[in-house]
Amino acid sequence: MTLATESNMAAKAEKIQHETSARGPSEQPRGSKPVRRVRWFIIVGILLAILVGGLVGFNAFRSHMIAQFFANNKPPPVTVSVAEAKSEVVPNLLRAVGELAAVHQVNVTSDVSGRITDIMFTAGSHVTKGQPLVQLFDKPDQGDLANYKAQAKVAELSLDRAKQLAARQFGPQATVDQAQAAFDQANAGIAKSEAIISQKLVRAPFDGVLGVRHVEVGQFLTAGTQIVSLTDLSTLYANFTVTEKDSGKLAVGQVVRVEVDAYPGKTFDGKITTIEPQISTDTRNIRVQATIQNPEGILKPGMFATTTVLLPEKPAVVTVPETAVEYTLYGDSVYLIKETKADDGKTSLTAERTFVRTGDRVNGRAVITKGVQAGDKVVAVGQLKLQSGAAVEISKDPLPPIKNPPPRN
């Protein structure tokens, strides 16, 4: 039994081996495919890791080289002019725009009509009060005056005789009364003729400067027709308006400085003499009038004037040159000078852009209410070439003179 059993088992093994060899490659066991996929994933992952690592390393190397390049090739410092922020008391000013007007100005006319026989002035000349300017034809009036004077003389003699007779009771009192009436009537005629003659001689009503002549000799002048303008330039009014908000700062007697375009840089002093007691309902402004002395006569009525009212002083504020402030849509700013020390002990200067809050501008300086302290150094000239943090060096040249800016409210 043992031998038979072994022989059967050997025969079965040979049969199985024969069947296995008879199968194709496609009939091999399926467990080998997952192993191959895992290998491929591992290989692809390793390649991707190598690629990403290479890119990261390259970028890091490039950034390091760029930083090292710029560190070794810094741009040269920008040359700028520097000024120090000061704490000072600035004038408290209220600016406004107005115009000049004459205190005394008239168009010289005649009260009566008549033909011009003589012109006794030169256009543009200075005249005094009472000086004759124009003579109208007055011969008939002179004749009437002589007639009335003769009548007055006869009436006076008749009155004296009537009084003497009445005193001796040789004549009635009615005769005296009639003589007195005749005498008074003659004197009235004299006064009337003298008044007409006086009206036909046109005189200057006050001291002043004459304007352009509007008449000629021989012209018939009707009453009220302009002959010439007459202006007193010794004293002028400066009329201007301020807002309702600023009206409470004004008072009669405050000093006013006036500037005109015709004489840049020259100021004329005066005082507020009148403040309108009511505010305009249309503009919400109040009208103010100052009196300005004009001894040289260079100011003219009608000139536009920039008026500056000196108000009581305010506490000290921080100011910088106006050229140091940059005005942009994003706000006002200045460049502050910062001093830093490197590890090797060397000192370097940089300009840092700092946004500030500005106030008034007075005499070429701007008031800084926030952002700058007294003693800080700011760039006054050369900001156009700067960026925040840029290296700078201070110019040894003096700052250019600062001109007074136009008024800004």
**What pLDDT does 1 receive?**
45
Q: How far is CA 136 from CA 119, 122, 140, 180, 356, in A?
A: 9, 17, 11, 34, 73
**What pLDDT does 136 receive?**
93
| CATH 1.10.287 for domain 138-199 | yes
Tell which CATH classification among 2.40.420.20, 2.60.40.150, 3.30.70.20, 3.40.50.2300 matches the domain 78-92+315-394.
Answer: 2.40.420.20
**What pLDDT does 405 receive?**
47
**What pLDDT does 233 receive?**
92
Residue pair 331/355 in contact by the 8 Å Cβ criterion: yes
Per domain, the residue ranges of the chain are 78-92+315-394, 138-199
Q: What is the percent of the chain with per-residue pLDDT over 90, rounded to a whole number?
A: 33
Distance, CA of 338 to CA of 194 (rounded, Å):
89
**What pLDDT does 25 receive?**
47
* Residue ranges, the chain, pLDDT below 50: 1-4, 6, 20, 22-28, 31, 405-409
Distance, CA of 281 to CA of 190 (rounded, Å):
56
**What pLDDT does 210 receive?**
94
Residue 128, φ and ψ in degrees, nearest 5: -110, 165
